[in-house]
Structure 1
């Protein structure tokens, strides 16, 4: 696999060197900055009896605006071709949760159903697994979340679909992954769940992002509760604070 891969970065695009001297350098030493967008291209192969090929040959990250709606915007972009349905998807989730109180209980939501719906309706907040499961059913697609820090792919398939989309998650932000195909020449946002080549390329892009430090360690972040102004160190303290007070509105503090 590595022999037919090419990784490029920057603008104009430059290929990451693979000579012996460069292999001993860090990405920073090569000149790749933190959060640099990397493109993975798999060179086309001549089909043989031993090699299974697909029409997908390149995986790329599509940067989604960091406006607290990146989860909804990423899914909207991949499923409809536009981020313009992000708000609609957010309130679709609110409606589903509100109208199914026996399924979305306080134990499931970690807050009363009514309060959670009010929280999610606030454009400063975003969802997670619950909202992705709902949108999986809405769009009849499996959502695979690539968690950069943990090097994991988490499949969410409320619809039991055979189609799949990929999201790249750095602990505080979601971006969309797309695949460039040559037969026919197009950008594919939705792929078959059985397409192993797409999974391999998505994993490679996640590994590259992880090696470049493309994630945020939420365990060491400092938060401020906007309701009572309490300062909290790390996600565990914030979670414990929410459990005790039912306060769920936080802002990140860069420097105290």
Structure 2
């Protein structure tokens, strides 16, 4: 019997299902989807076709062939919000609200997906390179150039980037940020947003919010990064129609911004972040293991060691 392959897209990434058969049931499909996407079976919402429309997964005994699915098709998986509409008449959606929700799904051009970059202390710079070029900096030269650009910008504008802002003398900070073991953060995002004339929207999964760097400058282009407390990854939108990816968006694109805001809230609710008070770091100077940012800061203050790596 021939296999029945399906492409799966969700906010956790891309997947392939290739262990089903045409006579496999919807119940078996739901089990596979739940396992791949880490969404419970009861919360699965499946969209198929173009434009994507809700696919009925309620008839669990129906075969994949009978359901209308074809091998090689792409499924979009979302998490359905749990509700109590049946128990509470006040919470029932009106017909117009349901139609609006369906129209929004059908008009959606794609889905925001995280592209994972290495946790090598340069994740912010690697993520920015990806959204600017739609590819990874395999050579590491761009990351090095980003660091030098930040240092040069800061050294030439000590009024904006004063010792009080940097937390250390300007010359010391400039030397520090050029080291491959130093992490970039808000200061680097501000510098790079202004240099490229773009707004950098950071989806903060710990707080469920979006921090927008360069927003006050009204730049015409916006890019998206995701931050889990210690690590940055770039976000891109993959088209439902042809699989093409998009990393730059018009700053007036409110639909994508709302999509990102929803992503931030969902990531927070499912605890897709790192507890910065309890994660483990290693001092790359003396090798000692430290728990949380407070211990790392105390160690740096007492020893002068400032290079830490993720464990």
Question: In which range does the TM-score fall when normalised by the shorter chain?
Answer: 0.7 to 0.9
Which runs of structure 2 are paired with 1:1-256 in the superposition (5 Å)?
7=10, 11-12=15-16, 15-16=33-34, 22-23=42-43, 56-84=109-137, 85-157=142-214, 159-181=217-239, 186-227=244-285, 232-242=290-300, 246-252=304-310
- Alpha-carbon distance in 1 for matches of 2:206, 2:11: 21
Q: Show structure 1 runs of 5+ residues with no match.
A: 1-5, 25-37, 42-46
CA gap of 1:193–1:232, structure 2 versus 1, over 3 A, is: same
CA gap of 1:222–1:152, structure 2 versus 1, over 3 A, is: same
CA gap of 1:63–1:95, structure 2 versus 1, over 3 A, is: same
Q: Show structure 2 runs of 5+ residues with no match.
A: 1-8, 18-31, 45-75, 80-98
- Alpha-carbon distance in 2 for matches of 1:248, 1:241: 8
CA gap of 1:224–1:109, structure 2 versus 1, over 3 A, is: same
Does the CA contact (< 8 Å) of 1:56 and 1:197 recur in 2? no
Matched positions, count: 228
| Root-mean-square deviation over aligned CA pairs | 3.6
242-251 or 118-127, which deviates more: 242-251
- Alpha-carbon distance in 2 for matches of 1:185, 1:20: 26
69-78 or 208-217, which deviates more: 208-217
Does the CA contact (< 8 Å) of 2:121 and 2:309 recur in 1? no
C-alpha distance after superposition, 1:115-174 (max 9, x if no partner): 111111111112111111111112211001111111111111174312111101111211
- Alpha-carbon distance in 2 for matches of 1:71, 1:60: 17
CA gap of 1:105–1:246, structure 2 versus 1, over 3 A, is: farther
Does the CA contact (< 8 Å) of 1:55 and 1:181 recur in 2? no
- Alpha-carbon distance in 2 for matches of 1:89, 1:40: 36
Does the CA contact (< 8 Å) of 2:235 and 2:247 recur in 1? yes
CA gap of 1:54–1:243, structure 2 versus 1, over 3 A, is: farther
User: Shift of the alpha carbon at 1:246?
Assistant: 4.9
Secondary structure of the structure 2 residue equivalent to 1:218: coil
- Alpha-carbon distance in 2 for matches of 1:189, 1:148: 19
TM-score, structure 1 normalization: 0.73
- Alpha-carbon distance in 2 for matches of 1:146, 1:8: 13
2:82 corresponding residue in structure 1? none
CA gap of 1:239–1:215, structure 2 versus 1, over 3 A, is: same
TM-score, structure 2 normalization: 0.61
CA gap of 1:245–1:103, structure 2 versus 1, over 3 A, is: farther
Secondary structure of the structure 2 residue equivalent to 1:164: strand
RCO comparison, higher one (Cα < 8 Å, 6+): 1
- Alpha-carbon distance in 2 for matches of 1:231, 1:21: 40
